[in-house]
Amino acid sequence: MTDMRTPLGKVRGLGSAKDGTSHFWRQRLTAVANVFLISFFVILVIALQGADYASFIEALQNPIISTLLLLVILVGCLHMKLGMQVIIEDYFHSEGLKLLLLMGNIFFASFIALASVVAVLKISFGG
C-alpha cells in the first residue's frame, strides 16, 4: 500500500492546513516571475543610479517601466510574505507569539507593497 489516504480525504483534497499545495504553488509562481522581474529591477536601478530628479521622474512616467516596477513590488512582496511565513512557522512554536508574528508579517508586506505602489503611481500620474 503506497497511498495512506482514504478515498474521502482524496476527494476533499486539502489536508490538515486546508490550503493544499497553494502555498507551495504561489511560492514557485512568484519565484519564476521574480527571476524576470528582479532582473529588470536590477537593470533599472543600475540605469537610474545617480540620475537627477527630472530624468528619474521621466523614466518612471514611461508606462512600461512603471507597470514592470509595480509588478516587481507586488510579486516581490507576495513572495517575501510567503517566505517569511515559513521562517516564522519553523522557529516560533508558542501559539500566541507565532500568531502575532504571522499577522505582523502580513501587515509589513502589505504596507511596503502599498506604500511603494502609491509612490510609483503618484510619480507616473505626474503628481
Partner 1 sequence: MANADLKANRPLSPHLQIYKPIVTMVMSILHRITGAALYFGTILMAFWLICAAAGPESYQFAMDVFGSFLGRLVLFGFTWALVHHMIGGLRHFIWDMGHGFELSAANWMARATIVGSVALTVILWIIGFIVA
CB closer to partner 1, 12 vs 121? 121
Using rule CB under 8 A, residue 100 touches partner 1: no
Using rule CB under 8 A, residue 97 touches partner 1: no
Window contacting partner 1 (CB under 8 A); options: 9-17, 95-103, 114-122: 114-122
d(CA 57, CA 112): 20
Q: Whose CA is closest to 57, among 123, 127, 125? A: 123
By CB under 8 A, the count of residues binding partner 1 is 31
Contact 78, 53 (CB under 8 A): no
CB of residue 76 vs partner 1: minimum separation in angstroms? 7
CB closer to partner 1, 12 vs 25? 25
Using rule CB under 8 A, residue 29 touches partner 1: no
The residue ranges that bind partner 1 (CB under 8 A) are 28, 31-32, 34-35, 38, 42, 46-47, 49-50, 53, 56-57, 60, 73, 76-77, 80, 83-84, 87, 112, 115-116, 118-120, 122-123, 127
